[in-house]
Amino acid sequence: MSRQVPTYELYGEKTGREPDFWVHCETIRSRSSLHHWEIRPHRHESFFQILYIESGSGDAIFGEKSHAIRPPAIITVPPGLNHGFRFSRDIDGLVITLLRSHLSHPPGDRSQLGEWLAAPHLTPLDPDHAEAAYVMQTLRRLGDEFENRRSGRNEALAAYVALALRLTARISHEGNTHELPPNENERRMEMLSELIQQHFRSHKPASFYARELGISPTHLTRIVRSMTGNTPHELIAGKLVEEAKRQLVFTLGSVQEIGFRLGFADPAYFSRFFFKYTGETPRVWRMKEKLRLEHA
Average pLDDT per run of 10 along the chain, which is 296 residues long?
Answer: 53 43 89 88 87 93 84 91 91 93 75 83 89 95 91 91 94 64 73 91 94 90 83 92 91 93 95 94 92 75
> Which residue, among 73, 67, 70, 38, has the nearest Cα to 52 in the 3D structure?
73
Measured distance CA(274)–CA(282) in Å, rounded: 6
Instruction: Decide: residue 150, CB within 10 A, 0-12 exposed, 13-18 middle, 19+ buried.
Output: exposed
Supply the pLDDT for residue 103.
83
Supply the pLDDT for residue 258.
95
Supply the pLDDT for residue 210.
92
Supply the pLDDT for residue 21.
67
Measured distance CA(157)–CA(23) in Å, rounded: 8
Supply the pLDDT for residue 211.
92
Q: At a CB cut-off of 8 Å and minimum separation 6, what does 94 contact?
A: 25, 26, 27, 28, 50, 51, 52, 54, 139, 142, 143
DSSP H helix total and E strand total for the chain: 11, 10
HSE of 135, CA atoms in CB hemisphere, 13 A? 30
Supply the pLDDT for residue 16.
41
Structural domains in the chain plus CATH codes = 15-179 (2.60.120.280), 184-294 (1.10.10.60)
